[in-house]
Amino acid sequence: MYGPSATGKTNLCLFTAANADGKVIFIDTENTFSAERIREFNRNADLDRICLIRADSFMKQSRAIKELEVLRKVDLVIVDSMTKYYRNALQDEGKPTDDLLEQFRALRSLYKKLGCKVLITSQVYTNQDGKDIAIGGKLVRDFSKQLVRLSHGNERVLDVEKHPEKGPFKKRFRIETGKVTFF
């Protein structure tokens, strides 16, 4: 899931975590995880089943993702945002693409081994044509079974660009106190 700032990426991650069945691993690179927001989305949410990992660098994010391979049971892994520190590493260190690729491989392996769902968010940059592009572009596209672009203007739009069964489609949505409404 990718989109500009304030399009609802983190809120949709929190909504998904609040309503997920089973164990959730939430890797927070944005420092935006909110137990209060989880409770707003689902007052009966069991916060004990959500394991929060705060990663404040690309190296810590990479380590956290790689350490997930020892898990025997998890139902959902959320990484919000997969590309925050990748963007910084690109600017500071050149090309940390191999490490991001290894993180995607580790998440895909977890999906295949345990059947758990994986939800990642990506920040964006705007190209010369004014189009928002997910940071990590080709890696994000290639490793995603579903690719969702969020946008907002007069209303928020969830644009599914890639879906294994349904193909592309769009949904408008609204984030309100305690709920997400699609229409």
What's the pLDDT tens digit per position in 156-166?
A: 999 999 888 88
Give this prediction's pTM.
0.93
Would you say residue 152 lies in a domain? no
Cβ-based burial of 101 (10 A; exposed 0-12, middle 13-18, buried ≥19)? middle
Show the domain range for 75.
9-143
**Does a structural domain hold residue 19?**
yes
Q: Across the chain, what does the average pLDDT equal? A: 92
- CATH no. for residue 86? 3.40.50.300
Residue 151 lies in a domain: no
Q: What is residue 98's predicted lDDT score, i.e. its pLDDT?
A: 84
Q: How far apart are CA 138 and CA 146, in angstroms?
A: 14
pLDDT-derived band of residue 92, with 50, 70 and 90 as boundaries? Answer: low
128 falls within a domain? yes
Q: Report d(CA 109, CA 19) in Å as an integer.
A: 24
Residue with tokens 């940071």: 135
| pLDDT over threshold 60, residue 94 | no
Instruction: Please count the structural domains in the chain.
Output: 1
On whether residue 161 sits in a domain, the answer given is: no
